[in-house]
Amino acid sequence: DGGITQSPKYLFRKEGQNVTLSCEQNLNHDAMYWYRQDPGQGLRLIYYSQIVNDFQKGDIAEGYSVSREKKESFPLTVTSAQKNPTAFYLCASSMRGRDQPQHFGDGTRLSIL
């Protein structure tokens, strides 16, 4: 079955540590996205990529980094510069085009130890 796989489901970060969240899709989608969701709030865009080897900052990119070396994969690194990383992180993908809905993975819940 086609879909988006995020791992791990739960992740704990120590102070000063970088952690990487995995996102893999087998939908053959060109575009991929990372969002952050805080309790009781909507989603905020961290980074997005329309094509391999290219990505753009979203609204809250500070303290995060990404790479897009393969079409299927869009890992997100939460760096030690992100002072408040505790949140629910959602990865999404879509076909290119203005009218294409985004399809979401099951999310990774990141907490500070």
Partner 1 sequence: ELKVEQNPLFLSMQEGKNYTIYCNYSTTSDRLYWYRQDPGKSLESLFVLLSNGAVKQEGRLMASLDTKARLSTLHITAAVHDLSATYFCAGGIGATNKLIFGTGTLLAVQP
Part of the chain binding partner 1 (CB under 8 A), chosen from 11-19, 38-46, 66-74, 75-83: 38-46
Among the listed residues 27, 45, 60, 61, the single contact to partner 1 using CB under 8 A: 45
Q: Is residue 42 a contact residue for partner 1 (CB under 8 A)? A: yes
Concatenated DSSP letters for 63-82? TEEE--SBTTB--EEE-TT-
Alpha-carbon distance of 37 to 54, in angstroms, equals 24
Question: 3-state DSSP call for residue 104?
Answer: strand
Token pair recorded at residue 54? 């290219």
Query: Which residues inside 74-103 make contact with partner 1, applying CB under 8 A?
Result: 90, 92, 94, 96-103
Residue corresponding to tokens 């996102």:
23
Among the listed residues 27, 58, 75, 80, the single contact to partner 1 using CB under 8 A: 58
Q: Of 102, 72, 78, which Cα lies nearest the Cα of 18?
A: 78
Question: Of the two residues 5 and 18, which places its CB atom closer to partner 1 in the complex?
Answer: 5
Q: Is residue 54 a contact residue for partner 1 (CB under 8 A)? A: no
Question: Of the two residues 20 and 41, which places its CB atom closer to partner 1 in the complex?
Answer: 41
